[in-house]
Amino acid sequence: MSRPIAPYVTPWTGEAKTPIDVVVTSSGVAYADPVHDALARDLDGTLWELRGGTATGRPEYADLHPERQPAAMNSLLCAGCNQPAARDERGMLWLLPLVPLLDSVTSDWEGVRTTIPPMCEACTEETARLCPRMREGHVKLRAREAELIGVRGTLHPRPGETCAPEPDALVLYDSPDMPFVVARHVVRELCRTTLVALAVTTALPRTRPVQGPRVVTG
């Protein structure tokens, strides 16, 4: 059987999360192993989730790899092939899944926050066909601005707080919560957008409209 094709930022079942103990102090979160802690921090001091293993098994389309995603997002490389993303006078090209919370689809996609990196033209066509979430409905956008605004990851409570960690928290770069998050994905906010194409399936769930910026994640 041939190996299934998946976007560059997609993790595989053979790439497991590295089991490392986490320590939370008043200064923030850290890995108990100082070597792992040093290796897992970026230049700004943010702690990142680590994964080991190899890209084997089955692609996990609903997730994004915590090393390949930020690498592609920070450099604005294609999420599919890790080459330069498509760009024209309307901006960079983005392919995003529609989220179940959208009650209706309009042309106002200004301020979308996403963890999915941009794409080249060829990869938008391939990903729309291969990815189960994209097949359920997707939007193709051009964005002239795509500011880095924060990360998604596991937000740990401060010492003395009794609440459980938030497994998928959005933490903005200027937030006092930044020292307490183990990041998985970089987030950009798309502005000055142009709607290129929209694919909506009849199976797309409909609920009440979302107020404020729409959030589209991988």
Give the pLDDT of residue 133: 87
Q: How deeply is 202 buried, as exposed, middle or buried, from its count of CB atoms within 10 A (0-12, 13-18, 19+)?
A: exposed
Rounded distance between C-alpha atoms, residue 171 and residue 174, angstroms: 8
- Answer whether residue 7 is part of any domain: no
Q: What is the extent of the structural domain holding 64?
A: 22-216
Give the pLDDT of residue 5: 77
Name the domain count of the chain: 1
Residues of the chain with pLDDT under 70: 1-4, 99-108, 202-218
Give the pLDDT of residue 158: 95
The label of the residue with tokens 């200064």 reads: 27
Find the length of the chain: 218
- Answer whether residue 61 is part of any domain: yes
Give the pLDDT of residue 205: 53
Q: 90, 118 in Cβ contact below 8 A?
A: no
Give the pLDDT of residue 212: 40
- Answer whether residue 14 is part of any domain: no
Give the pLDDT of residue 103: 46
pTM, rounded to two decimals: 0.86
Give the pLDDT of residue 102: 52
